[in-house]
A and B are shown apart, each in its own frame.
Chain A
Amino acid sequence: MNSYLELSHVTIDFPTPNGPFRALDKVKLSIDKGEFISLIGHSGCGKSTVLNIIAGLHQATEGGVILNGKEVSEPGPDRAVVFQNHSLLPWLTAYQNVELAVKTVFKKNKSKQEMREWIEHNLELVHMSHAMDKRPDELSGGMKQRVGIARALSMEPKVMLMDEPFGALDALTRAHMQDSLMEIQSELNNTVIMITHDVDEAVLLSDRIVMMTNGPSATIGEILKVELERPRDRLLLAEVPEYNHYRAEVVRFLHERYKNPESETEGDKPSIDIGNPSRKEDTPILYAVND
Chain B
Amino acid sequence: MTTQILKGFSGLPNKLTEPFVKILTGPNKAEHISQMLKTIFIPLIALSIFLLLWSAGASQIKTSLGDVPGPTQVWAQSVQLINEHKEEREKEVAFYERQDKRNAAKLEKNPEAKIKTRPYTGKATYLDQIWTSIFTVATGFIIASLIAIPVGIICGLSPLLYTALNPLIQIFKPVSPLAWLPIVTMIVSAVYISDDPMFDKSYLNSAITVTLCCLWPTIINTTVGVNSIDKDLINVSKVLRLSWFTKVFKIVIPSSIPMMFAGLRVSLGIGWMVLIAAEMLAQNPGLGKFVWDEFQNGSSNSLARIMVAVFTIGLIGFLLDRLMLMLQKAISWDKSAVIR
Contact = CB atoms under 8 A, between A and B. Distances in A.
Interface of A: 55-57, 74-77, 79-81, 83, 85, 87, 89-91, 100-101, 104-105, 135, 137, 155
A80 B238 CA distance: 10
Given A87-B232, A89-B233, A91-B255, A77 B334 contact: no
6 contacts: A57-B238, A85-B232, A89-B233, A90-B334, A101-B240, A104-B241
A55 B237 CA distance: 13
Contacts of B242: 104
Interface of B: 230, 232-233, 235-236, 238-242, 246, 250-251, 254-255, 333-336
Contacts, number: 56
A236 B251 CA distance: 45
Given A75-B239, A100-B240, A87 B233 contact: yes
B196 to A, nearest CB: 47
A104 B240 contact: yes
B336 A79 contact: no
Given A87-B233, A100-B250, A104-B246, A80 B239 contact: yes
Given A87-B233, A89-B254, A105-B240, 11 more contacts: A55-B239, A56-B238, A57-B235, A74-B238, A74-B241, A75-B235, A77-B239, A85-B232, A89-B251, A137-B335, A137-B336
A80 B254 CA distance: 23
Nearest to B257: A91
A83 B232 contact: yes
B237 to A, nearest CB: 9
B255 A77 contact: no
B233 A79 contact: no
A74 B250 CA distance: 21
A248 B335 CA distance: 48
The CB with the most chain B CB atoms within 10 A, among A74, A81, A87, A105, is that of A87
Contacts of B233: 87, 89
Given A104-B240, A105-B240, A87 B235 contact: yes
B240 A87 contact: no
Nearest to A157: B239
Contacts of A137: 334-336
Nearest to A97: B236
Contacts of B333: 90-91, 135
B240 A77 contact: yes
Nearest to A75: B238
A51 B220 CA distance: 35
A217 B238 CA distance: 27
Contact of B235 (A76, A81, A90): A81
A82 to B, nearest CB: 10
A83 B239 CA distance: 11
Contact of A87 (B236, B241, B254, B335): B236
Nearest to A84: B232
Contacts of B335: 137
The CB with the most chain A CB atoms within 10 A, among B242, B250, B255, B335, is that of B250
A76 B236 CA distance: 10
Nearest to B254: A91
Nearest to B233: A87
Contacts of B251: 89
